[in-house]
Structure formats: structure tokens, C-alpha cells
Amino acid sequence: MIKKLTAVGLVAAISVGCQSQGKLFGKKNDQEAVSASASAKEESGKTSYNKLITSEAKSDKGMFTTHFVDDKLYFEIPLDLLEKDMLLVSRIAKVPSGFGGGYVNAGSKVNEQVVRWTKRGDFVDVKVISFKNESEEESPIYKSVLANNFSPILYSAEVKAYTPDSTAVVVDVSSLFEDEVAAIDGLSSSLRKRYKVKKLDKTRSYIESAHSYPKNVEVKHVMTYEAEEPPERGQAGTISMLMNQSMVLLPEDRMQPRLADDRVGWFTVEKYDYNSDELKSDEYEIIRKWRLVPKDMEAYKRGELVEPVKPIVYYLDPATPKKWRPYFKQGIEDWNVAFEKAGFKNAIIAKDPPTAEEDPEFSPEDVRYSVVRYVASTTRNAMGPSVIDPRTGEIIESDIIWYHNHLRSYRNRFMIEAGAQNPAARTLNTPEAEIGEMMRMVIAHEVGHALGLPHNMKASAAYPTDSLRSASFTQEYGLTPSIMDYARVNYVAQPGDEDVRFIRMMGPYDLYAINWGYRYLPEAKNPEDEKTTLDAWILEKAGDPVYEFGSGYGGVDPQAQRESLGADQVKASEYGLANLKKVVPNLVEWTSREGSGFEELDEVYSELINMWRGYIYHVITNVGGVYETRKTADQEGVVYEAVPQGKQRKAINFLTSNAFTTPEWLLNDEILDRIESDGAIDRVQNLQSRALDYLLDEDRLKRMFENEQRSSKDVYSAVEMMKDLRQGIFSELYQSKEVDAYRRNLQRAYVDTAVDYVEQVQAEGDEEIASTDVVALMRGELQKLKSDLNQRKNRTGDTITRYHWQDLIARIEAGLDPEA
């Protein structure tokens, strides 16, 4: 393989770039780096090491030796670590209450960048390095790549002393952590604006600790800002946060990267090769993965299961409650089944935290240890972040984060979505077996992220919807082919469906993806050598929906949606709604506790409404929807295909019957009279108007017009959809019936949405909308509705209904002709 050189450049937040095997441009070899700095003995005017680092110093030996002397922090940097690649990871270790609206939590990573410590005369500079753009050293274009990717200097410090043996320099790095350095700051520009931050208060900003380990240095420092509007009033015009800076030495022996393929879901690193034979820079991606190498290569080649040289080990946080530890461990080690598909046994191991006697050096901050952290927080979430070598995509370490109150989310969801079918779900005290299994699968999901796998929201559409009512099917295959899908509880199963599985689990796609990403290919000398084998594995599974990948972003493909179950979204939502209608009358009983109020009832009822909304949105996505099947040019068939018109009509019929009729079942007086004095009408209006807005989204309507032109098949046109929708929403008009308050709100929302399109063009001259058929469609529908209203407005004896029809006519006239 030809050696490639990587140019250096600014990295805002490293999630990109790797380079092929070879020497980096601008990087001196070890001998050159040492000899360039070996003149330390000849330097003059420096403080004696022993006078600078006194006996009072608090020192910690490791990659760099750190010294606290009075209120100053010194790094003692070995000369042989100058010019070495290091990953600087900035995390928020502690945050004030309410920070970021509750979405920025302790442990959140704010930046990740590769740096090199370089000596420049009497100074040491910290340079930020990019591995995104590369070129061959011998190529003429290499000079241009270098010139257009110049390394910025993040920080510079004067050399204060040399060690007595002249093997290291000593620099004062206090200001790096006490001053405001944007590249490692925890306050983004948006948060500064939100909280009206004025300045950093240096009198209340300080270094809390510095610890050095064999391959990393960890510094914690408090940053205090003056802010006019801090997250909460009681914070007295102040925002203080504890930052954690990790400096991680990247490996000299680089892992061989694996080229990404968007037909199999992986987190990736992007890069550009300017020596491509194509008439442009070659843009490609490599996957993020741990380095797993077989211990016994010959046995591995024979197809035997072999342990890796270095397994993936996760330690549990000492703060993890002991009753939950077995479930956490199971969730981690569940992935061994997938790794066995890739030829490895015991590839991933879960361990209890070691005691001080077992491992006196153990620390969750040490890059040698990957930890499942248990965070005492009201945040209802879990995360699976990892730290990678951006040169190769190798995952260096990972910390899974579990927030305590995530238990609450699963308790509520289990009651809402399984309460009609499963007696174990009918309590706020979910039995340990069920909540433990849910925790196990959450940990497995987050570990999947930490192994390199993104969400696969398309997986759930691989299974026939009615199969999720089968005990034999769900017990063997789970709810979806991938644990990386959002499909947490089986809401399709109905009362009487015995022994079905209610909680997600790992599936066949997960085993396939791990084999594709982690199977070691001994004969491959470079990433290109692997491509034929990797492509063959994909083509072997092509056409089988179990092995398809879809991220779910974009909201276009109805088969790739969060929390959706089964191939038929309409049928699944019908089943889900049927269960919700059985749950609602029981919520008072299931959530009541003697001596307590109705806060829990209010919370569960609110979450139930959100799930109803989710079922509705799953169906809406079919209207104007487009299926995406990822393919390459050597595969037959198209990538994009419009949802058949029959399914789109079925979706509109469902919406007319379920989303756009008054949900009497939801308006349960036994609940409402306990949680609120009023608000039901506004709540239903909000639900229905938002669903209507989503259905009549401009991009959806434009796709429907385009599908009419592109397809030779019979398609569901936008005109037909609007006609069906109008007749459903205004059924009282066409049947001469009175309209209740909920439906009046919905009908006003329909008119207002259509009028908004017309008024937007009239008021703002919006050329983008004006140049489409959307406005013409809305004008036509408003004219038709106005005509129908004029013909039928007096066919009801209900006064408010008649006033309502007259009001809609006035709204339409004002919208179509605002000057009249």
C-alpha cells in the first residue's frame, strides 16, 4: 500500500478523519524530536528544577508528571513525548441544576481534538492537528494540502525548567485551565447567549485536581461565569461548572481502518484523499470500532472461536446499586453472542469495580478503564459515548452513562403500552424481573453505541406486524431484528395473547453487523483488500429486510421510525390505540398510593397522550412517504420508491377515524377531575392541530406532486388526499350534523393551515412556496370548502354550529383576499 501523509489543520470537534498507514507530514521521528531538544543542557537563564519543584510540591507520576506548587500546576513533559499525537477530550464533570434545559448533563462531552506538544525555542506550543485531509508524500498536491491545512496553536507556555537529567521540560499550564480557552470551554456560544454570560470570574475559577496515568493525564477545573440569566433564579447571577480535560496518548502502532458502507450501520470518521484518480478529492469514511485481534491466529483461520489479545472490559461504577449490577453485567456480556459470529469468544467482559486492594490505581477517569457510570440525576436518559483515535477509527475507551431516573421512563412506558395485556405492568412498583430485564436491554443498546453501532430505526419494519402477537415468534426473534432500534415495549400484543415477549432484545441484524465490522481478515494488508469480502457479505443478505439499515432521520421512510413496530404502521397503531383505550379507565387505580396526591397519575396520563401522538405520527409518515433501500450501482432495483397509494389511502382513513375525531376515550372524567380544573379542550386542539400541520407539511405535499410526475404507476395524488381529508374533517358539514367544541377547533385549524400558505406568499413573497403547486392546491381547497359552506351553512338547527360555519367562510375570504 502506498504511504499516505495527513495534513494538519483546525479541528472544531474531532469526529472525522483517519489516515492510511504511514508517516505523518510534519511529524519528526523520535530521534529527531529528541535531538532537537537535547540542547537542554546548554539552555541558560532557566530556574533550577529543585527550586521550582520544591519538596512541598504535590506530584503525580504518569504520562506527564504533574506538580502542584502553591497555586500553580506544572506539567513535566518528557522530550520523547513531544510531537506525539494525543487526544484532548473535554467533558463537563458537574453542572448546575437546569443547565441546558436539562439536556446537558454531567459527563457530556463538549469537544474532542488531536493535539501535539511541540518545542519552539524557549516555549512549548500545543498545536491542534487534523487528519481529515491527506495526500501522498511524493505527490505535488501534497504541498497544497499542507498549505491549506495549517495547524493552529491552542496554547503556548514558556519552558520554566529542565529535569536534572535533561529528559523533560517543565511548563506552567495553570492559565490553560484557569483562563477562558474556547477550545476546551463548557459553554457554547448558544448557551452564552441564552444565559447572557458576561465574563469568566477568575477569582472563582481554579484547578481542582490533576492526576497522571500511564497513557493519559486528567485535569479537573472549576469555571465560574457571571451571567444575567443563569439556569435557575437561586444561582445568584452565577454559572459554575466542573470541567474534566483528558489528554490521551494515541497508539504508535495504528489499527488498520475498515472502510464504511452505508448499507450497514456504523458510526464513521470522514476523510478526503487528494491523490484519488477520480476527477475530485475522494471522500470516504471508515468505521469506529475497538481493536480485536485473535490470540491464536491459526485457530481463528480454521474457524475456531478464539479469545482476542485484548478483550473489551467494562467496569461497573462503584455507585451502582448492587441489586441492579447483575442486569448491567448481562446487558454488557449479551454482545458476546454477536462477537462469536465474528469468531471471538469472551470478547467483552463485565466486572465489578475493584477494591483498593485489588487495584489501587483504578479510577473511572483513567483511559485504561471503560466504566458504566451510574449517575444520581433526575435526567431520564442513558448514553453510550466513546473516545476514538481519529486517525484510524479505533475506539480507545468508552463510558456508558446510566441516569437513575431512566427507571421512571421504563416503569411508565411499561404500564402504558403493556398494562392492557400484562398484569405485571399494572403498578408503579414494576416487579424486579421486568424492570431488570428492561435495564439489561437499555445497557445492551448503549453498549451497542459504544461498539460503533448507530440507531437502526428500519429494523422493526422487517417483521410482520401480527407476528408480534405470537409467543413462539417473539420469544425467538424479539420485537425487532436489532437492539439498536427504538422498539422498547410490545404494544402490538393484545389481551389474550399468551406468553408473548414484551421487552426488546438483541436480534439477527446485530450479529450480522458485528461480524461485518469486527471479523478479522488476516490476509488483508490494507483497507482496500477487505472490500471484496465485505461487499460479498452484504450482497449475500441483500433483499432480506432483516438485514437492512435505515437511520430514521429525515422522516421520509415510514419503515424507519422511532418506536414503530412491525411492517404495517397502520395496523400496529390500531393495536396500540386499542390497548391505550383499555389502559385509560384503569390509570387512577394503577397509579394511586395511599396518602399521596395525583402527581403520578398526571405524569403517566401525560406520557400516554404522547404515545398516542406517536402512533398517529407513525401513520402520517406513510402519506407522501418514500421507502429507501440502500444499494450500490452493482445491485438491481431502485433506492427510492413511493409508498403505494393503497397504503396512503389506508393511512388517511385511519387518521380521519382516530386522529381527527374527538377522542372521547381519552377525555376520562375520573382522571381529569383529579389532575386539572380545565385544559382538556386545549390539549386535544394541540394534539390534533399539530398532527394536521405535520400531515400538511410543505415537503410532504411537494413529494406527493413529484411522485405523480415521476411514477408511471397509479399514485395517491395530493388533490385526492386533500379531498379525502376535507370530507373526513368536515363530515358534519356534509351530513348536516352539529359540531362539538373539539371538532370546531380542528376545522378552524384546517382552514388556518391552508390560509397560512396563501398568506405567506402574499405577505412575504415567498418564492420557494409560490413556485410550487402547494399554494394552488390550498387556494383550490379553500374555494371548494367555501362553496360547500355557503350551500350547507343553514342546514343545522344548532346555533353555534351555524356561527362556526359563518366564521370559517369569513376566515377563508380574509385569507384569499386580505384587501377586500
Q: What is the SS3 string spanning 472-516?
A: HHHHHHCCCCCCCCCCCECCCCCCCCCCCCCECCCCHHHHHHHHH
Distance of CA 325 to the CA centre of its chain: 25
Residue-level pLDDT at 276: 52
**144 vs 383: which has the higher pLDDT:** 383
Nearest to 86 by CA among 248, 255, 246, 219: 248
- Is the pLDDT score of 480 beyond 80? yes
Contact between 105 and 6 (Cβ < 8 Å): no
DSSP helix/strand/coil, 467: helix
Contact between 402 and 377 (Cβ < 8 Å): no
- Is the pLDDT score of 343 beyond 90? yes
- Is the pLDDT score of 468 beyond 50? yes
Residues in the chain: 820
The amino acid present at 360, given as its one-letter code, is P
Query: What are the phi and psi torsion angles at 814 (to 5°)?
Result: -65, -35
Nearest to 282 by CA among 524, 528, 453: 528
DSSP helix/strand/coil, 174: helix
Residue-level pLDDT at 820: 57
Residue-level pLDDT at 144: 52
Tell me the per-residue pLDDT of 635-688, one tens digit each, with 9 for 90 and over: 999 999 999 999 999 999 999 999 999 999 999 999 999 999 999 989 999 999
Nearest to 406 by CA among 442, 448, 352: 442
Tell me the per-residue pLDDT of 531-576, one tens digit each, with 9 for 90 and over: 999 999 999 999 999 999 999 888 899 999 999 999 999 999 999 9
Mean pLDDT on 748-766: 82
What lies within 8 Å, CB to CB, of 180 at 6+ separation is 200, 223
Three cell numbers, residue 124: 512549548
Mean pLDDT on 429-442: 95
813 vs 820: CA distance, rounded Å: 8
419 vs 493: CA distance, rounded Å: 11
Residue-level pLDDT at 142: 45
What lies within 8 Å, CB to CB, of 382 at 6+ separation is 400, 401, 402, 403, 406, 442, 443, 445, 446
Q: What angle in degrees, to the nearest 10, is found between the helix axes of 645-654 and 718-729?
A: 20
Using left for φ > 0, alpha for ψ between -120 and 50, and beta otherwise, residue 679 falls in left
Pairing, β 168-172 against β 72-78:
antiparallel
153 vs 151: CA distance, rounded Å: 7
- Is the pLDDT score of 196 beyond 70? yes
Three cell numbers, residue 532: 471484496
Which stretch of DSSP H or E encloses residue 653? helix 645-654
647 vs 559: CA distance, rounded Å: 12
Mean pLDDT on 167-186: 93
Residue-level pLDDT at 138: 52
Distance of CA 155 to the CA centre of its chain: 31
163 vs 168: CA distance, rounded Å: 6
Pairing, β 133-135 against β 268-273:
parallel
Between 55-64, 251-260, 384-393, 761-770, the lowest mean confidence (pLDDT) is in 761-770
Residue-level pLDDT at 145: 44
Contact between 428 and 591 (Cβ < 8 Å): yes
Mean pLDDT on 582-601: 95
Tell me the per-residue pLDDT of 399-433, one tens digit each, with 9 for 90 and over: 888 877 788 899 999 999 999 999 999 999 999 99
220 vs 300: CA distance, rounded Å: 44
311 vs 292: CA distance, rounded Å: 7
Residue-level pLDDT at 79: 97
**30 vs 393: which has the higher pLDDT:** 393
Residue-level pLDDT at 36: 42
570 vs 337: CA distance, rounded Å: 34
Assign 37 a pLDDT band (cuts: 50, 70, 90).
Answer: very low
46 vs 37: CA distance, rounded Å: 15
Residue-level pLDDT at 819: 67
**Mean per-residue pLDDT of the chain:** 88
The amino acid present at 526, given as its one-letter code, is N
Contact between 161 and 49 (Cβ < 8 Å): yes
- Is the pLDDT score of 24 beyond 90? no
**495 vs 131: which has the higher pLDDT:** 495
Distances (CA, A) of 408 to 284, 317, 586, 695, 722: 42, 20, 19, 32, 41
Contact between 270 and 132 (Cβ < 8 Å): yes
Assign 765 a pLDDT band (cuts: 50, 70, 90).
Answer: low
pTM (two decimals): 0.87
- Is the pLDDT score of 374 beyond 50? yes
Nearest to 109 by CA among 46, 15, 28, 5: 15
Percent pLDDT > 90 in the chain is: 70
Q: Which residue has the cell 469526529?
A: 15
- Find which of 9-13, 108-112, 329-333, 590-594 is predicted with most confidence, using mean pLDDT: 329-333
Find the Cα–Cα–Cα–Cα dihedral 22, 27, 31, 32, rounded to 10°.
Answer: 140
Nearest to 102 by CA among 449, 377, 443, 400: 377
Residue-level pLDDT at 121: 92
514 vs 335: CA distance, rounded Å: 9
Contact between 345 and 305 (Cβ < 8 Å): yes
Nearest to 113 by CA among 124, 127, 123: 127
Which stretch of DSSP H or E encloses residue 76? strand 72-78
Between 227-241, 332-346, 529-543, the lowest mean confidence (pLDDT) is in 227-241
484 vs 442: CA distance, rounded Å: 10
**229 vs 132: which has the higher pLDDT:** 229
- Is the pLDDT score of 775 beyond 80? yes
Mean pLDDT on 445-449: 95
Mean pLDDT on 694-716: 88
Tell me the per-residue pLDDT of 780-797, one tens digit each, with 9 for 90 and over: 999 999 999 999 999 988
- Is the pLDDT score of 125 beyond 90? yes
576 vs 598: CA distance, rounded Å: 25
Radius of gyration of the chain (CA): 31
Mean pLDDT on 222-232: 89
Query: What are the phi and psi torsion angles at 212 (to 5°)?
Result: -115, 135
Q: How many CB atoms lie within 10 A of CB 543?
A: 11
Mean pLDDT on 342-362: 92
Three cell numbers, residue 625: 412517504
Between 228-242, 344-358, 506-520, the lowest mean confidence (pLDDT) is in 228-242
The residues spanned by each domain of the chain are: 5-249, 297-567, 619-816
Pairing, β 626-628 against β 282-287:
unpaired
Contact between 472 and 443 (Cβ < 8 Å): no
Mean pLDDT on 468-496: 97
430 vs 445: CA distance, rounded Å: 21
- Is the pLDDT score of 16 beyond 70? no
Contact between 668 and 595 (Cβ < 8 Å): no
Residue-level pLDDT at 235: 73
638 vs 693: CA distance, rounded Å: 30
